[in-house]
Amino acid sequence: MILLKGPDELAQMREAGRIVAEVLDEVEKAVRAGVTTDELDRLAEELTLSKGAKPAFKGYKPHGLAYPKSLCVSINEEIVHGIPSARRIKPGDIVSLDFGVNYMGYFADSARTVPVGRIGRRDQRLIEVTRAALYAGIEQARTGNRLSDIATAVQRVAETAGFSVVEEFAGHGIGRSLHEEPQVPNYFRPGMENPRLKEGMALAIEPMFNEGGPELKILANGWTAVTADGKRSAHFEHCIAICGDGPEILSVARRV
């Protein structure tokens, strides 16, 4: 069942979204060569608690194994769910930051990939294309459309650029739970579930694109997905609400 959110709930989700964006902005500023991913995790956690929110990922247990940290930091060939550690970020890395909070019972979730120092042209393009695909998907998040309009818009941006779409992970509904129905895939094939989009839906849209093939492996930690061919991957995510006049991005620091 897809839960629809009313104006009061959306007002709460805006607050959760604002906190996620503010924290990610600060963590992004702290991403530089020499910093450890544990330091980024601690920064995210401290900022979140100081804003009266709770980190959403820490202890989250969708499949038996609880996620141990507050932040996901996925470097280079890591696609998603990179676990912070004593690893130091290096010049030329691309770093995906994925973060969620629970604020007064409502969740928000957002991700972005940032370069460290000088990166190659193809890495730069991967980052730009994945971000553009997120916005192409958001643009389709309006009443009258279906889920496939979001999915195919995202997929088309990847395919046009020659990048591959990670199929094992999808976006999701979000609200009083981090993950609600529906799943929001980044590709579409006939036969897949394809609900109509309605006012009051809140969705996390989160394309993950690879420079090489779409295949992945899960590391021995049970969480971290890496590309099977070792090539790089990027990830962008926003929470949005479907309003009467179109999509509203919830995970932004300041509304204009």
45 binds, among Co ion, ligand MF3, none (CB under 5 to 8 A by kind): none
**What are the E-state strand segments in the chain?**
54-55, 71-75, 78-80, 94-103, 106-115, 164-165, 171-173, 180-184, 202-205, 208-210, 216-218, 225-227, 233-235, 238-243, 246-249
Q: In sequence order, which residues have a C-beta less than 8 Å from that of residue 2 and are 6 or more positions away? A: 173, 180, 181, 182, 195, 198, 201
Q: Check residue 237 for interaction with ligand MF3 (CB under 6 A).
A: yes
Which pair of structure tokens corresponds to residue 8? 């009061």
Q: Which stretch binds ligand MF3 (CB under 6 A): 35-43, 55-63, 120-128, 214-222?
A: 55-63
Please select the residue that binds Co ion; options are 13, 204, 240, 242, rule is CB under 5 A: 204
Q: How many residues bind ligand MF3 (CB under 6 A)?
A: 13
Contacting ligand MF3 (CB under 6 A), which of 22, 24, 48, 57?
57
Residue with tokens 């601690």: 42
Pick one of Co ion, ligand MF3, none as the site partner of residue 107 (Cβ within 5 to 8 A by kind): none
Q: Which has the closest alpha carbon to 92: 110, 75, 73? A: 75
Cα–Cα distance measured from residue 194 to residue 204, given in angstroms and rounded to the nearest whole number? 16
Q: Does residue 149 touch Co ion according to CB under 5 A?
A: no
| 106 binding ligand MF3? (CB under 6 A) | no
DSSP code at position 2 = P
Among 109, 123, 149, 211, binds ligand MF3 (CB under 6 A): 109
H runs (alpha helix) in 103-146:
121-139
Q: Is 98 in the site for ligand MF3 (CB under 6 A)?
A: yes
Interface residue with ligand MF3 among 60, 143, 146, 159 (CB under 6 A) is: 60
Q: Coil, strand or helix: which one is 236?
A: coil
Closest to ligand MF3 by CB, 96 vs 140, is 96
**Chain residues that interact with ligand MF3, rule: CB under 6 A:** 57, 60, 62, 67, 72, 81, 98, 109, 111, 172, 204, 206, 237
**Chain residues that interact with Co ion, rule: CB under 5 A:** 109, 204
